[in-house]
């Protein structure tokens, strides 16, 4: 049997290091009137740090939430160039990405640092979005589940299952990010199911409530099939979130009724 819950699908746009004041304003001018009509999907946007406050102002009259792409694991003090969780909370962020594969690969963020950032974000009242996923070499050598499980375990060890599920999990296979090569709905569902089952082994109800997003070359034309998988609860969107009509179409594809997941009861 399957379980169903009333959690809404969640679509998060990760703008990465793109945009300008003018481009952001123009994107939101086109996007917001369209997605304001979609009631059964939750949407968030993660602009680069310098634009957070102006984007927060532009989002003010909408239901779209604000998120950041990164945070410091430190609370405050002499950490030049870093941004703390409480600052992000202070300026109106609801979400923060943690452990994106670009941070892991290009900025040497290891599992311990990611776990610390996750815990710091939660303590400040933010919802951390924990990114996990395997490289192409790891997939080809059959290590996908081990890699993802290890990434989850680091955070589980730091905060426990009850706090882990206060966040959101985003499965982003590294080989599918920015490459145009999407995981097939079946490939993505298999990993999402593994994640949910792994969480369910520790707490079945918590696992059913936890939102697990897919990210990696999600586009307007593949979103619906991905979001229709039982354990995919929305998406983390990079490139396509920079184009208003593509992102709106992806949000539209996530408009669904109650989500049903695959946990047997
Ligand atoms: P793309 O959608 O551009 O593949 O990026 C995915 C991603 O990294 C979102 O965090």
- Mean pLDDT by 10-residue block, N- to C-terminus, for the chain (265 residues)? 67 98 98 93 98 97 96 98 98 98 96 98 98 96 97 97 97 92 93 98 94 96 96 98 97 74 60
Give me the pLDDT at residue 258, please: 44
Give me the pLDDT at residue 256, please: 64
> Is residue 194 annotated as a catalytic residue, yes or no?
no
Among the atoms of ligand 1, which is closest to the Cα of residue 131? 10
Give me the pLDDT at residue 93, please: 98
pLDDT by residue (tens digit) across 114-169?
Answer: 999 999 999 999 999 999 999 999 999 999 999 999 999 999 999 999 999 999 99
Q: List, chain by chain if needed, residues with CB within 6 Å of any ligand 1 atom.
A: 14, 100, 172, 177-178, 215-218, 236-240
Q: Is residue 264 part of a domain?
A: no
> Is residue 100 annotated as a catalytic residue, yes or no?
yes
- Buried (b) or exposed (e) across 97-125, using 16+ Cβ within 10 A? bbbbbbbbeeeebebebbbbbbbbbbebe
217 annotated as belonging to a binding site for a ligand: yes
Give me the pLDDT at residue 6, please: 63
Residue 18, Cβ neighbours under 10 Å: how many? 15
Dist. CA 86–CA 72, nearest whole Å: 10
Q: Is residue 265 part of a domain?
A: no
Q: Which of 42, 100, 134, 192 is catalytic?
A: 100
Give me the pLDDT at residue 264, please: 53
Give me the pLDDT at residue 179, please: 87
Domain hosting 189: range is 2-259
Dist. CA 177–CA 180, nearest whole Å: 7
Among protein residues, the one with the nearest Cα to ligand 1's atom 1 is 238
CATH at residue 212: 3.20.20.70
13 annotated as belonging to a binding site for a ligand: no
Centre of ligand 1 from the C-alpha of residue 231, in Å = 19
Q: Which of 89, 134, 172, 192 is catalytic?
A: 172
Q: Is residue 109 part of a domain?
A: yes
Give me the pLDDT at residue 263, please: 65
175 annotated as belonging to a binding site for a ligand: no
Give me the pLDDT at residue 1, please: 34
Dist. CA 98–CA 233, nearest whole Å: 18
Q: Is residue 252 part of a domain?
A: yes
Total number of domains in the chain: 1
160 annotated as belonging to a binding site for a ligand: no
């Amino acid at each position: 049997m399957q379980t169903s819950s009333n959690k809404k699908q969640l679509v998060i746009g990760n703008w990465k290091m793109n945009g300008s004041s003018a481009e952001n304003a123009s994107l939101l001018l086109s996007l917001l009137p369209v997605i304001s009509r979609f009631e059964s999907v939750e949407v968030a946007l993660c602009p680069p740090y310098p634009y957070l406050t102006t984007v927060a102002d532009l989002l003010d009259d909408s239901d779209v939430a604000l998120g950041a792409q990164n945070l410091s694991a430190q609370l405050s003090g002499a950490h030049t160039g870093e941004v703390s969780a409480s600052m992000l909370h202070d300026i109106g962020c609801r979400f923060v990405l943690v452990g994106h594969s670009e941070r892991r690969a290009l900025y040497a963020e290891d599992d311990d640092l990611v776990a610390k950032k996750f815990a710091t974000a939660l303590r400040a009242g933010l919802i951390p979005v924990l990114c996990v996923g395997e490289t192409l070499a790891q997939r080809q050598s059959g290590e996908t589940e081990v890699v993802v499980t290890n990434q989850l375990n680091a955070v589980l060890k730091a905060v426990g299952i009850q706090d882990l599920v206060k966040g959101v999990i985003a499965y982003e296979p590294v080989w599918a990010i920015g490459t145009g090569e999407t995981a097939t709905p079946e490939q993505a569902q298999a990993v999402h199911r593994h994640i949910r089952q792994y969480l369910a082994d520790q707490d079945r109800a918590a696992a059913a409530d936890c939102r697990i997003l897919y990210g990696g070359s999600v586009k307007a034309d593949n979103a619906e099939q991905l979001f229709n998988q039982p354990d995919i609860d929305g998406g983390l969107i990079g490139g396509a979130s920079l184009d208003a009509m593509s992102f709106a179409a992806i949000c539209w594809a996530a408009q669904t009724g109650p989500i049903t997941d695959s946990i047997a009861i």
